[in-house]
Amino acid sequence: MADSDTHNQRLKAIILDARMAFHQKALAVKENLQLGEEEAADLTREAEEVLALFDRPETWIGPIEYDSRELFRCIDQFQRSDEEDLEAFSESLAVFVGALRQLAAPPSRARSVPGSPFNGLMEEALLNNRRTVDGIEAMYLENGQNLHQIEEYAETATRQSMLVNNYTRKLQSGEHQATALQVKRIKDWNGFFQEVTAETPVEDFILDCQDYNDELQHQCPLPTP
């Protein structure tokens, strides 16, 4: 238990920062958009519920693996979202909530739900693809290209996070039952991404990511607004 506690201490500090950032941002949005109490509560209810998961002792029973760079980037993007644009704030909030939800119930400790035996394999495939894409971003950055400064890529990456978080949530709840063919198609994408090198034009990588997003949307669509 001590090892788990030590391992998780840094993450607990990050969650505390995320909680403070969320409350400050939510208050600013409420004031800037002049939202009523009920409307503001509806907007932030899911985030409150997810943050509450980190108050449960069982959430911290074992070590939680996470990508600190990706988590910090997610929190930073949320903090920088437009406080006067409800749609932009809602999108950044969805990504923020999805990242925290995944930490509270990572694939290795997700609850067992009745249904497809392929759901766990799909979660693993989605996580592997996310790590591979993160590695490609880092590769381009080392070569002087910050992909998130390219508007088309930033929009594509945000949508990809929303799609992956939506897929993961539905797998864990049992709402989506993965098939062997779906798992194979998602795993195949990891091979496609691994073919990307420092010489690959950024435009080609963006197209790959957009095609991957299309596959995710086809398999597990985002809820209709």
What's the pLDDT band for 112 if we cut at 50, 70, 90? very low
Q: What are phi and psi of 54, to 5 degrees?
A: -80, -5
Domain ranges of the chain: 2-104, 107-219
The number of C-alpha atoms within 13 Å of 118 and in the hemisphere containing its C-beta is 13
Helix (H) or strand (E) holding 62: none
Give the residue with greater pLDDT, 4 vs 98: 98
Read off the pLDDT of residues 135-157 as tens digits, 9 standing for 90 and up.
999 999 999 999 989 999 999 99
Each residue's pLDDT tens digit, 12-36: 888 998 999 899 898 988 888 888 8
Instruction: Check pLDDT > 80 for residue 102.
Output: no
CA distance 2 to 118: 33
Cβ pair 212, 205 in contact under 8 A: no
Instruction: Report the percentage of the chain scoring pLDDT > 70.
Output: 91
How many distinct helices (H) and strands (E) make up the chain? 8, 0
Encode pLDDT of 182-218 as tens digits. 989 999 999 999 999 999 999 999 999 999 999 999 9
Taking phi first (over 0 means left), then psi (-120 to 50 degrees means alpha), and beta for anything else, what does residue 115 get? left
Can you tell me the distance from the alpha carbon of 12 to that of 64, in angstroms, rounded to the nearest whole number?
10
Distance CA 203, CA 4 (A): 42
Distance CA 80, CA 177 (A): 35
Give me 91's structure tokens. Answer: 């999108």
